[in-house]
Amino acid sequence: MLFTADHDDIRRSLQKFIAAEINPHVDEWEKADIFPAHELFKTMGSLGFLGLNKPVAFGGSGLDYSYALVMAEELGAITCGGVPMAIGVQTDMATPALARFGSDEVRREFLSPSISGDFVACIGVSEPGAGSDVASIKTAARSDGDDYVINGGKMWITNGTQADWICLLANTGDGPVHRNKSLICVPMKSKGVTVARKLDKMGMRSSDTAQIFFDNVRVPKRNRIGEEGKGFSYQMIQFQEERLWGAAACLKAHEYIIDQTIEYTRNRKAFGKSILDNQVVHFKLAEMQTEVELLRALIYRAAEQLVAGEDVTKLATMAKLKAGRLGRELTDACLQYWGGMGFTNETPVSRAYRDSRLTSIGGGADEVMLMVLCKMMGTLPGSKGNA
């Protein structure tokens, strides 16, 4: 990936912003189990961070995806996983399909204020009985004249308790499951929308996550993104950016834990020498750093293809899979070297251990990523090329 001086300017601006406006508050937000999304997003929007690759006509900067990638990577320097994840939902999960396929009217109503930070967005795909199996969702939007009437529920919704609108995937027909769904922008203040509960999570503590119900929620059909029945396809395209974002946001987070572990093990003594002096420790950390660089190369290659307009489903899926697996291995290994301190909540490695576990689940579980790859390779039972 070839970066320019403009990319470097965005990196430096984000580094300064994170150091001054986010990291000093992370411990407080983690204890509170929530961060002030409207306040933070408004500041980020005013600085242009929420619409780097969004259309200029709706408040974005009109840059290509490489700039969004730079932002995702730099957000990994935030000393928790919850806040960068919430930002990523705003920029790379709830809004890509809207920016690409939405009408001018619906983009003015929902995309523009999301770019400016006046609106907090969330994405409503997963349900209690349909997490990674997107085709099995049950939430339905019944046609009633010029409106949809929505009934159902969504689960594990990041930003859900603070969001102004939800990019909702719902069944709008009775046809085949891959062609009967639509993406609809639903204001969270609509009558019949209920935030049932804020979920108590193992990690990502500073990010609010909700269960949401829809009871005869009426919204105009003009709130639909693109064509009716194309929602599944739009969401699959949107997943490419989501999965790349999720992988890129891990890079600096992984490097931070490696650096923190080096510092801690260098100063911690056992049996007359530092923990770091043990070959098993410094060899393992070198191996983990190498794995991070390999993941970075894969992500950059995928981003180059995305900028070129190519389908990056395969590479984005690989990156997402590798990021989740690496996060589990790396944080587990590093926590072990912290000994008893690694098991306390006051250390960065324990937070990283808890937060990184979600990468192998959210946005498509590891097993789903493997199914996608096997299907593309022709090795999945029933797929082309595998008798």
Does residue 115 contact residue 60 with C-beta atoms inside 8 Å? Answer: yes
Question: How far is Cα 64 from Cα 66, in angstroms, rounded to an integer?
Answer: 6
**Where do we find the tokens 């999720």?**
246
Single-letter residue type at 261: T
Question: How far is Cα 204 from Cα 83, in angstroms, rounded to an integer?
Answer: 8
Nearest 5°: the CA angle 73, 74, 77 is 110
- CA-based diameter of the chain, in Å? 79
Report the candidate in 40, 51, 37, 179 with the shortest Cα–Cα distance to residue 110. 51
Annotate 62-104 with DSSP letters as a single string: ---HHHHHHHHHHHTTSSSSHHHHHHHIIIIISSHHHHHH--H
Does residue 182 contact residue 224 with C-beta atoms inside 8 Å? Answer: yes
What's phi and psi for 16, nearest 5 deg?
-65, -40
Report the candidate in 338, 360, 351, 327 with the shortest Cα–Cα distance to residue 250. 327
Q: Which residues contact 42 (CB under 8 A, 6 or more apart)?
A: 116, 117, 118
Q: Is 311 left (phi over 0), alpha (psi -120 to 50) or beta?
A: beta
Does residue 157 contact residue 130 with C-beta atoms inside 8 Å? Answer: no
Question: How far is Cα 81 from Cα 277, in angstroms, rounded to an integer?
Answer: 30
Task: Judge whether 242 counts as a catalytic residue.
Answer: yes
Catalytic residue among 242, 263, 291, 293: 242
**Where do we find the tokens 């022709």?**
378
- Positions annotated as catalytic residues are 242
